[in-house]
Chain A
Amino acid sequence: MALLEVKNLVKSYGDRNVLDGVSFELEEGEAKVVMGPSGCGKSTLLRCLNRLHEPTSGAILFDGEDVTDPGVDVRALRSRIGFVFQNFALYRHMSVLDNVALALRRLKKLPRREAEERALQELERMEMAEKRDAYPAALSGGQSQRVAIARALAMDPRVLFFDEPTSALDPIMVREVVTLINRLYLDNVTILCVTHDLNLARHISDRVVFLDRGKVYAEDRIEHLLARDADPVIDEFFGGED
């Protein structure tokens, strides 16, 4: 059974379907990338999956449980999904350590000391332990992204969502973050990543879900997608890269 199974997911704003019957699966330990032109519904998809946005119809089975069910414990669902945002979204008024330990203390109800130890482990894994007392304003983009990933991993999520993790970074930092996510991929962390970045997609994914105008246009391995001949939608998006 897949860890995550999305069936015929629809999200409408007024009479506009941002997601128009999206279906795909994500296996445990798999890394899947969602790509597609701007406005195709990629970020909305991620936000529907953890109910930050309410889907209009369709089913989302997470560990076999339909999380679109109104009675589902949204808080428990979200604590099982790590979410790393495009702009890092670190809490500016908290130190690096507090950023990572906050949810452990407040949501998992760990005592401060235990939460901080656990947070420090994740910071060490991300090679950010020495910055534990720094505030987000003092970090580079790449460092901020590492802390954001440590914060998401600290909760021991079943899956890690990335929303355009490299789009706010310069090329050097992009390399750094690609290497980092690739390491998680090799560590068998289950990953669902929305990105425009072909390089990232190449390094971290088994398969790509290609969205176009709210529908799954194609789902395939990245090299197979790139090798498609005379596919105007794919060609336009990748700009002739191969």
Chain B
Amino acid sequence: MTFVEILLTLLKGAGYTLLITFSCAATALVVGLGIAMARELGGAWLSALLSAVVYVLRGVPMLVLLFIVFFGLPGIGLDVPPLPAMMLSLGLISGAYLSEVFRGAFAEVSPNEVLAAQSMGFTRFETLRVIKLPQMIRFAVPGIVNELTTVLKFSPFAYTVGLPEITKQAMALVATTMRGIEIYAAIGLLYFGIYRLLLAAVQLIEKRYSIPGFAQE
């Protein structure tokens, strides 16, 4: 088996890796934004409750949560398929981290601008949507890229619940060919390629929405 043939076989797994990464990243973005916005709008109680949830999620090892969801929940009659199990573990944990990224980015929005919007008659929700959110997302881009990279790097755990992503394919190939160094080096290259693609996509979006003089000080 040539190196190219190995690469082509592994590419089949890349589709799953991308699917897992995007599903978990989308879950993380929704959860992270939801938590951060609820903390902005909600009162002290809601904020305290959400901070406790975030605290717990950040402390739980990803694989443990994945096993609880995938192997534990069927014990109480809840069967969760592999991909949703990844979203409920990796997606949730990543969402908790992202909510902290967003919280920090919200804090960078000038309180004067918020006050100006409220003094014009904008409600808290409108101020959040029109003034704070568009600025916060721009401040948060570096943190979002970091977290998306983490999601990609945690995607191999999906093999433990039977999803045939790149690492799973690699393990199968090594078992039949015994060419561990080449194959694992190849998947290292593939992950790096996917990472570069993600980065390029984010940079493209960032460029499209860049504002002269904003978030550059």
Residue pair B119, A52 in contact (C-beta under 8 Å) = yes
| B3-11, B195-203, B208-216 - interface stretch | B208-216
Q: Report the bound CA distance from A50 to B119 in whole Å.
A: 7
Residue pair B112, A85 in contact (C-beta under 8 Å) = yes
B120 touches which of A87, A88, A92, A103 (Cβ 8 Å): A103
Residue pair A92, B214 in contact (C-beta under 8 Å) = yes
A88 neighbours in B (Cβ, 8 Å): 112
Residue pair A78, B120 in contact (C-beta under 8 Å) = yes
Q: Report the bound CA distance from A136 to B213 in whole Å.
A: 8
A181 to chain B, nearest CB (A): 18
A89 touches which of B110, B121, B130 (Cβ 8 Å): B110
| B69-77, B131-139, B151-159, B168-176 - interface stretch | B131-139
| Interface of chain A residues 62 through 84 with chain B (CB within 8 A) | 74-79, 81, 83
Residue pair A135, B212 in contact (C-beta under 8 Å) = yes
Q: With A89-B115, A138-B212 in contact, do A155 and B120 touch (Cβ < 8 Å)?
A: yes
**Interface size (A, Cβ < 8 Å)?**
28
A79 touches which of B113, B120, B212 (Cβ 8 Å): B120
Instruction: Write the chain A residue with the least CB distance to B117.
Output: A91
A83 touches which of B110, B116, B212 (Cβ 8 Å): B116
Residue pair B123, A87 in contact (C-beta under 8 Å) = no
Residue pair B121, A79 in contact (C-beta under 8 Å) = yes
A103 neighbours in B (Cβ, 8 Å): 120-122
Residue pair B113, A92 in contact (C-beta under 8 Å) = yes
Residue pair A83, B211 in contact (C-beta under 8 Å) = no
Instruction: Write the chain B residue with the least CB distance to A161.
Output: B119
B213 to chain A, nearest CB (A): 2
Q: Report the bound CA distance from A79 to B138 in whole Å.
A: 29
B140 to chain A, nearest CB (A): 13
Q: Determine whether B182 belongs to the interface, using a CB cutoff of 8 Å to chain A.
A: no
Q: Report the bound CA distance from A91 to B130 in whole Å.
A: 10
Residue pair B120, A107 in contact (C-beta under 8 Å) = yes
Residue pair A91, B131 in contact (C-beta under 8 Å) = yes
B131 neighbours in A (Cβ, 8 Å): 91
Residue pair A106, B122 in contact (C-beta under 8 Å) = yes
Q: Determine whether B146 belongs to the interface, using a CB cutoff of 8 Å to chain A.
A: no
Q: With A52-B118, A81-B119, A135-B213 in contact, do A106 and B126 touch (Cβ < 8 Å)?
A: yes
What residues of chain B have their CB less than 8 Å away from a CB belonging to chain A?
Answer: 110, 112-113, 115-123, 126, 130-131, 134-135, 138, 211-214
What residues of chain A have their CB less than 8 Å away from a CB belonging to chain B?
Answer: 50, 52, 74-79, 81, 83, 85-93, 102-103, 106-107, 135-138, 155
Closest 9 CB pairs of A and B: A137-B213, A89-B116, A78-B121, A89-B112, A83-B119, A75-B121, A79-B121, A103-B120, A93-B135
Apart from A75-B121, A78-B119, A92-B214, 4 more pairs, CB < 8 Å: A91-B116, A93-B138, A135-B211, A137-B211
